[in-house]
Structure 1
Amino acid sequence: MSEFPDPTAVRGPVYRAFDLLARICMTVAGIQLVFLVAIFGWLVFGRYVLNDTPTWVEQAALLLVVWITFLGAAAGVWTKAHLSIDFVREMLPMPVRVPLRWIAVIGVIIFGCYLAWHGWELAEKTWKRRIPMLGMAEGWRAVPMVICGVLSVLFSLVHLAALARGEDPLEF
C-alpha cells in the first residue's frame, strides 16, 4: 500500500468532478487514437492488398488528429502536463516564483478564452461546408477548439483558486 493518499480522496467534489472530466477527455482521445490506427491499417490493407485505396481515410484521420490533440491538451491543463517551461520559474526564489505562477495560470485563462471564442466563430462560419469524402460539417474540425478552450478556462480557474488559498500548484 502506498504511503501517499489518493489525491482525489483528499480533494472536494469540484476537484473530483474536474478530474473525472479530464479522465473522460483522455479516454475519448485514447479511443479516437485506436480508431486512427485502425483506419490507417485499413488504408494500408486497401491500398496494397485490395488495390483499392479508401480515399476517406485521410480526411477522417485529419479530423481525429484535431480531436485527439485538443482533448489531450485540455486534460494536460488540468494535470499540469502541458508544455511549459516551469523548471526555470521553480528555480527562482519564492518571492519571484509566486507571482510568476499567477501570471502563468492567468495566461492560460486568457488563451483558453481566446481559443473558445475564435473556435466558436470558426465552427459557425464553416458549419455549412462539408468535409470532402466524409460529408460531415466542416465545423466539426473547430468544435474541439471550443471544448479545449472552455475546459482550459475552467481547469485554470480551479488552479487559480488553489493559488489564492496558498496551495502549491505543483502539488495540486
Structure 2
Amino acid sequence: MTEQIHRWLDAVYLACIWISGMAILLMSLIIPWGIFARYVLGAGSSWPEPLAVLLMVIFTFFGAAATYRAGGHIAVEMLTNMLPTQARYLCEKLVDLLMIAICLFVMIWGGKLSMEMMRQGLAELPWLAVGVTYLPLPIGSFLTLLFVLENTFFGSQKDRAVVTYDHESSQPLNEAL
C-alpha cells in the first residue's frame, strides 16, 4: 500500500513540475510578444500581462508543492540542528501541523474566493472568469497538503528517487530525482 501511495504521489509530483515548467515557458513567450507588440508594432495587446500574471500564479503554487516534496523549500535549521533529538523531532512535528493548517486555510479561503469571483469577468480577457485566476491557490494548496501529509506519515521524500512506470506492464522505466 505504501508503494502505491508513493507511486501516485510521484505522478502528482511530476505533474506539478511539468505544469510549473509549462507555465514559465509560456510566460517567457507571452511577455516578449507584449513588448514586441507595444514597441515594434505600436499597438499594445491587452492580453499578455493578465495572462502572464495567471501563469506566474500557476508556476508559484504548483512549483511550491513540488519544491516542498523535493525538500527545496526554505528551512532555517540552524537553531533546530543545535537541539537535542527529541526537541528536534517535536519541532518537525510542529512545522508539519503548521503547514497542514496553512494549507487548509488557503484551500478553504482560496476556494471560497475563487467561487465568489466566478461570476466576474476579467476586463482584458472577457472569456476568462476572475475566479479561474484564483483556482491555483486552492489546487496548489491541496497538492502541498498531500505532500505535507506524506512527509508527516512517511518521512521526507527528498532523497528518494522518483520512479516512472510503464502503464501497461507496471515496470519501472527510469529513475530520476
Q: Which secondary structure state, in structure 2, belongs to the residue aligned with residue 32 of structure 1?
A: helix
Q: Counterparts in 2 of 1:21-60, with a 5 A limit? A: 21-60=12-51
Deviations along 1:103-158, one digit per CA (max 9) or x if unpaired, are 11111111111110001100011110011211201011221111122112211111
Alpha carbons of 1:98 and 1:169: their partners in 2 closer, same or farther (altered >3 Å)? farther
Q: Deviations over 1:17-49 (max 9, x none)?
A: 112211111111111111101011111211121
> By percentage of residues, which structure has more strand?
2
What TM-score do you get using the length of structure 1 for normalisation? Answer: 0.84
Measured in 1, the distance between the counterparts of 2:5 and 2:47 equals: 41
2:11 paired with 1:15: no
Unaligned runs of 5+ in 1: 1-10
**Deviation for aligned residue 1:169:** 7.0
Classify 1:92/1:131 alpha carbon distance in 2 versus 1 (closer, same or farther; 3 Å): same
| Count of paired positions | 158
Between the aligned residues of both structures, percent identity stands at 25
Runs of 4+ in 1 over 4 A off after TM superposition: 168-172
Deviation at 1:51, TM superposition (A): 1.1
> Unmatched 5+ residue regions in structure 2?
161-177
Q: C-alpha separation between the residues in 2 aligned to 1:46 and 1:85?
A: 44
CA RMSD of aligned residues (A): 1.8
> Which residue of structure 2 aligns with residue 77 of structure 1?
68
Where does residue 6 of structure 1 map in the other structure? none
85-94 or 147-156: bigger deviation:
85-94
**Is the alpha carbon distance of 1:87 and 1:171 closer, same or farther for their aligned partners in structure 2, counting shifts above 3 Å?**
farther
SS in structure 2 opposite 1:127?
helix
Q: Which deviates the most, 115-124 or 70-79?
A: 70-79
